Structure 1
Amino acid sequence: MEETWDNFKKLFPDRKDRMKDFYVVEREYLDEHPDSGYFTEIRDLKTFPDYIDYLPKGAIPAKIRMMYYMPTLEEGKYPFVGFSREECASFLDRSVELAVRAIEEVRSLLDTRFN
């Protein structure tokens, strides 16, 4: 089989077990960063406005409520067979880099237009 996430899901169809690796990585991060925005901002949110009008009404508040859970350190039946901690860290680093770059590009465009 080709090494794709879709094929991995076929080999390991139990979504709950598959997600445990993600939860372990999240929990390890949170344990190492007690000052993260998860604790300082997200967990205490009671309401959140619908800022983006093209999304379905209530989509943002619903997604934020989904983030209230505290991930566990319970490993899956086959821990880290789908990805390694290093691959996860690399993916997150790259995602943050792309998001920062996109924000900087938008800021630069706005600066050019309004200055």
Structure 2
Amino acid sequence: MTTEYDSSGNGEAPARYIRLQVDLVMEITDTDELTRAAVEQIDGDEFMPDDERAHARDAVQRDEAEALAYLIDPFGLVNGVSGVELVQASWSSAHAEYDPESDEWDLYEEEMGEE
């Protein structure tokens, strides 16, 4: 029997679960196209109950952030990645004020501060 240990030398087994956090900022360039794609996604979901489908259609037609949330699939992001299985996912989408020149949006600065 072979036991794996982490590379830190502390003798503990490596963590089997990893939380991957990703921040994305997207610009909506065509609201109608985005909404249409979300409605098509909802209409094509054979497992969605009819009452939920009506609520989902209404939500995506009122809010681009909702439409985007219906189109983003975290399972698709890791599908086909060797050696991993997605066990849980949570995501949300919200409108945001975006200024690429603002320090608030300097994602690399956050990484540097954590080290």
Give the TM-score, by structure 2 length: 0.22
Structure whose CA Rg is larger: 2
Select the structure with the greater relative contact order (CA < 8 A; seq sep ≥ 6): 1
